């Protein structure tokens, strides 16, 4: 196994999730964003596969917009080895403005949500379909593999981008972080 899937499988937490993807039992589930990019950066800079990874984002798309259902999925998937952050992308618009100060129209799908993630390198998702890894990368993977952090201004604010970039610079100093 080579390429992106091979790199992601060097991270034992991601490998376990990919191997047992069906057990997530979430509609339209994807592994997304930071943990994927950070595993690639760890590979690129020869760091341990889990270096700097605070959590793994699992997203799904379900017309059941209740917070209780999302919380039940979060509790069901709880893992003592790594924090999982489980979010229904169909309900993000319900809490986004209160948290980030900007209104958000409802997402029509997980790929539409991924296209608004804060950087081109972290706007990425993977999932297993019939034993094959499917990739959603609306900006491609060139920045991801090159260690380039470029803002995706579709939704993120300069403040959020700058804070993320500062954290990542401390953990992966070789990254090329582009200004806002």
Q: What is the pLDDT of residues 39-96, one digit of tens each?
A: 999 999 999 999 999 999 999 999 999 999 999 999 999 999 999 999 999 999 999 9
What is the predicted pLDDT for the residue at 109? 98
Predicted model pTM: 0.95
CB 121 within 8 A of CB 152: no
Closest CA to 128 of 10, 3, 18: 18
Banded model confidence at residue 2, pLDDT cuts 50, 70, 90: low
Which run of H or E residues covers position 72?
helix 67-76
Q: What is the pLDDT of residues 159-171, one digit of tens each?
A: 999 999 999 999 9
Banded model confidence at residue 19, pLDDT cuts 50, 70, 90: very high
> What percent of the chain has pLDDT above 70?
99
What domains can be seen in the chain, in order of their start residue?
Answer: 3-177 (3.30.460)
CB 49 within 8 A of CB 42: yes
């Amino acid at each position: 196994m080579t390429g992106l899937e091979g790199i992601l499988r060097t991270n034992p937490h991601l490998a376990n999730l990919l191997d047992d993807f069906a057990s997530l039992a979430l509609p339209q589930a994807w592994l997304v964003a930071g943990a994927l990019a950070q595993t690639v950066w760890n590979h690129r800079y020869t760091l341990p596969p889990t270096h700097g990874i605070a959590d793994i984002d699992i997203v799904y798309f379900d017309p059941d917009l209740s917070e209780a259902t999302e919380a039940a999925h979060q509790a069901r998937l709880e893992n003592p080895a790594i924090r999982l952050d489980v979010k229904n992308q169909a309900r993000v618009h319900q809490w986004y403005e209160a948290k980030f100060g900007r209104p958000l129209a409802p997402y029509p799908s997980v790929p539409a949500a991924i296209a608004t993630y804060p950087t081109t390198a972290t706007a990425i998702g993977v999932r297993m379909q019939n034993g094959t890894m499917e990739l959603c990368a609306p900006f491609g993977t060139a920045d991801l593999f090159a260690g380039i952090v470029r803002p995706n201004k579709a939704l993120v604010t300069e403040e959020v981008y700058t804070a993320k970039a500062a954290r990542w610079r401390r953990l992966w100093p070789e990254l090329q972080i582009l200004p806002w």
